Chains A and B, each alone.
Chain A
Amino acid sequence: MRSRGRLRRRSAITGYALLAPSLFGVVCFLLLPVLVVLWLSFQSWDLIGPITFVGLDNYQSVLSDGVFGNSLLVTLIFVALVVPIQTLIGLGAATLLTRGLPGSAWFRTIYVLPWICAPLALGVVWKWILAPTDGALNTLLGQRVEWLSDPALALPAVAAVVIWTNVGYVTLFFMAGLLNIPGQILEAARIDGAGAVKMFWHIKLPLLRPTMFFVLVTTVISAFQVFDQVYALTQGGPARSTDVVAARIYYEAFDAFDLGRAAVMAVVLLVILVVITLAQQFYFRRRVTYEMD
């Protein structure tokens, strides 16, 4: 009895020791910052002055602030634009690329290139491409379109750049999912007379649910947190039409130097993301097919 207990204790110690490095990372770089942000949300601080406890004042100020309300709305529209379009394009591209067509390997590399580049650098390049005067796109079109300074066009333009950046990432995962589908299942469907469309809807798509779950969770989170491209392209303008929550947090913290309000916005964003992720998990829980045999 005693030796079994000692064995279990030793196993536990070994387990914790092996976990220690990643646990250290999670605690120091994830848990602690979240707790600090939570604590900051109840303080007033401009980074250089004294930190003062203000209770719920920051929450009251932020939640009644029309500018933050606008940021939430802009972010929701942005997510609604980006996630479905990049998922559809990624799925379509993955389907084509797994058919072994000539040049597929070349296209696979091309699609992934934007995703591995620094988003800020890509934003700067796209700012030049979309510039109203002497911009590459307007020069090509032969007419002046104010892509980034017209409030009606700015958000779709930023969304297009983000979709262009992320499509390779989405494609990569769908390709892995499609290639993971056992050949005998597809063969059996083909023998049963299923065409390409039926096969996609009734065989491939259901078997892609785990991939779909992963892709949707990660892309929704990343779309809610978009910052680099907005910072490089529009800085939240014009008329706050691209003032997404992450950008608003940045400007509140580092332009207005109001860390307390910025922390409240970060907490709100965290809560939204947790709720959405849980909802996605709930939705996919009974639908995800992890086993194929």
Chain B
Amino acid sequence: MAKRSTIIAAGVAGVLLVIAGAVTALNFSSSESSSDATTVTVRLWDEQVAAAYEKSFSAFERDNPDIQVGVEIVPWDDYFEKLRTDVAGAGAPDVFWVDGGSYPAYADAGALLDITTALPADAQAGWSAPVVAQYTRDATLWGVPQLADPGIAVYYNADLLGDAGLTADDVSALTWDPTGDNDTLIGVLQKLTKDYNGNTADSAEFDGSNLSQYGYNAGYDLQAMVLNYLASNGAQFQDESNQYAFASDAGIASFQYLVDLMNKWQVAPSAADTNTNGDFSREQFLQGKMALFQSGVYNLANVSAGANFDWGVVRLPSGPAGAISGVDGIAAAGNAASQHPAETQRVLEWLGSAAGSEFIGASGAASPAVLAAQPAYAAYWTSENVDISPFYDVLAAGTAPAPRGAGWPAAENAMRPLLDEVFIGRTPVDSGVRAAQNAANATQTE
């Protein structure tokens, strides 16, 4: 009869063997597919573009049978937390989307493939110049441009405009002015905002604490609202040295105007709703409860799929310095620690090609950053009877850059709670905006 200790030792060894076997099997299954093809993983946050990618990679795999591409979707809310931990744990995908505020930290840490040298020069031609500039740091390009959001514009609900006796033409050239001298926006928004008794915001009986229909969205939305209102009043978000500079006199006037739309004129949803739910305004617009919704092409597919009313797009309101819109782009970065560098480079080259990007444009999912693929995007929306020219026409007046620099996540973390209080009206605009700017800049010097 075997000794008890021998049985126990055998048992422990058996358990360890099972664990080791399971770990080996998991490692094996994650790195290799069942065929001989090498699997390259691509991660992004946009489901609609992911669907276009699936079609694109099917075409790629037909011509490259030695590579299989796996598409992973990680929701935006968790995307950068997961990416950071995956890069730290050497478990990041081979290719992953980055935005302008996040990529510098990865580039500085050596986690990204140097696109300038990794891809042939001819493969780098024909990309949107602003997006290339956005992802170029120290003369090195750190991502293959994928999406080039043009400008911001205003979606309108034609039915609600009609109810107020207005047409698209009446809202296509609105102006805003912090002094009030040259302002046509507020008057129109008052006509488009109603309380639960049906009183519009320009009537004496109007109860602004109880709205059933909003004229416009004015909450804290950096890309759709803040950058444009700053630039349209001649203010900067960041200066040339990437210091936050939005608390200038013009900047404070821009914030004051937005806050007044919510709290003084009561023509936009309260920050109590928009501070904690970034999609609140879009939801209200899609439910037919908001007349004008300022946003970008990134919401075109959502509006097209979700709006069961007549809608269209017009230019964003013009400020004292003109109608100037923020622009932003998204790039696909290569993982510098990829186990399959050659295959990863081939996938990146495909993503940056006209053939690879054509699927994004042709599906209408997003505006491709590959110039040759952009006509397919315009053609898609033309076929849907949607005129997307206001998103592009606004670029002629100049553009406002998206947040930049390695410290953007920390800066936003510091300033956001302070700006939330400004928008909800508990902190005076001038002191609140200054405090937010100081908090953001303090993170850059730590």
> How far is it, in angstroms, between the C-alpha of A46 and the C-alpha of B443 when the chains are bound?
13
Taking a contact as CB atoms closer than 8 A, the residue among A21, A133, A239 that contacts B417 in the complex is A239
Q: Chain A interface: which of B24-32, B132-140, B264-272?
A: B264-272
22 contacts between A and B (CB under 8 A): A14-B5, A46-B105, A48-B84, A48-B87, A48-B106, A48-B111, A49-B108, A132-B270, A132-B272, A133-B270, A144-B209, A146-B270, A148-B276, A149-B271, A151-B426, A236-B417, A237-B275, A238-B417, A239-B417, A239-B426, A255-B413, A256-B443
How distant is A221 from chain B, measured CB to nearest CB, in Å? 25
Write the A96-123 contact mask toward B (1 if CB under 8 angstroms, else 0): 0000000000000000000000000000
Known: A149-B276, A256-B413. A47 touches B8 (CB 8 A): no
Closest 10 CB pairs of A and B: A149-B272, A48-B109, A47-B88, A17-B8, A254-B81, A255-B413, A146-B272, A256-B410, A49-B109, A132-B272
- Interface Cβ pair total, 8 Å cutoff: 91
Taking a contact as CB atoms closer than 8 A, the residue among B4, B273, B414, B420 that contacts A132 in the complex is B273
Tell me the interface secondary structure of chain A in the complex: loop
| Chain B residues near A238 (CB-CB < 8 A) | 275, 417, 420-421, 424, 426
| Chain B residues near A144 (CB-CB < 8 A) | 209-210
Residues of B within 8 A of A (CB): 4-5, 8-9, 11-12, 15, 81, 84-85, 87-88, 105-106, 108-109, 111, 209-210, 269-273, 275-277, 280, 409-410, 412-414, 417, 420-421, 424, 426, 443
Tell me the interface secondary structure of chain B in the complex: helix
How distant is A148 from chain B, measured CB to nearest CB, in Å? 6
> How far is it, in angstroms, between the C-alpha of A131 and the C-alpha of B284 when the chains are bound?
14
Chain A residue, CB-CB nearest to B280: A133
Write the A134-161 contact mask toward B (1 if CB under 8 angstroms, else 0): 0000000000101011110000000000
> How far is it, in angstroms, between the C-alpha of A240 and the C-alpha of B272 when the chains are bound?
14
CB <8 Å contact, B420 and A237: yes
Apart from the given pairs A49-B109, A149-B272, 5 other A-B contacts in the complex at a CB distance below 8 Å: A46-B105, A46-B109, A47-B87, A254-B81, A254-B84
> How far is it, in angstroms, between the C-alpha of A257 and the C-alpha of B409 when the chains are bound?
8
| Chain B residues near A237 (CB-CB < 8 A) | 275-276, 417, 420
| Chain A residues near B409 (CB-CB < 8 A) | 255-257
How distant is A40 from chain B, measured CB to nearest CB, in Å? 12
Within 8 A of B (CB), among A219-246: 234-240
| Chain A residues near B87 (CB-CB < 8 A) | 47-48
Chain A residue, CB-CB nearest to B8: A17
> How far is it, in angstroms, between the C-alpha of A65 and the C-alpha of B106 when the chains are bound?
28
Within 8 A of B (CB), among A24-51: 46-49
Write the A241-273 contact mask toward B (1 if CB under 8 angstroms, else 0): 000000000010011111000000000000000
> How far is it, in angstroms, between the C-alpha of A20 and the C-alpha of B19 when the chains are bound?
14
| Chain B residues near A255 (CB-CB < 8 A) | 81, 409-410, 412-413
Q: Does A285 contact B (CB under 8 A)?
A: no
How distant is A189 from chain B, measured CB to nearest CB, in Å? 51
CB <8 Å contact, B413 and A251: yes
> How far is it, in angstroms, between the C-alpha of A46 and the C-alpha of B81 when the chains are bound?
11
CB <8 Å contact, A149 and B109: no
Q: Does A185 contact B (CB under 8 A)?
A: no
Q: Does A10 contact B (CB under 8 A)?
A: yes
| Chain B residues near A49 (CB-CB < 8 A) | 105, 108-109
| Chain A residues near B111 (CB-CB < 8 A) | 48
How distant is B217 from chain A, measured CB to nearest CB, in Å? 13
| Chain B residues near A254 (CB-CB < 8 A) | 81, 84-85
How distant is B417 from chain A, measured CB to nearest CB, in Å? 6
> How far is it, in angstroms, between the C-alpha of A48 and the C-alpha of B103 when the chains are bound?
12
CB <8 Å contact, B88 and A48: yes
Taking a contact as CB atoms closer than 8 A, the residue among B81, B410, B420 that contacts A258 in the complex is B410
Q: Does A13 contact B (CB under 8 A)?
A: yes
How distant is B100 from chain A, measured CB to nearest CB, in Å? 17
How distant is B267 from chain A, measured CB to nearest CB, in Å? 15
Taking a contact as CB atoms closer than 8 A, the residue among B276, B413, B421 that contacts A234 in the complex is B276
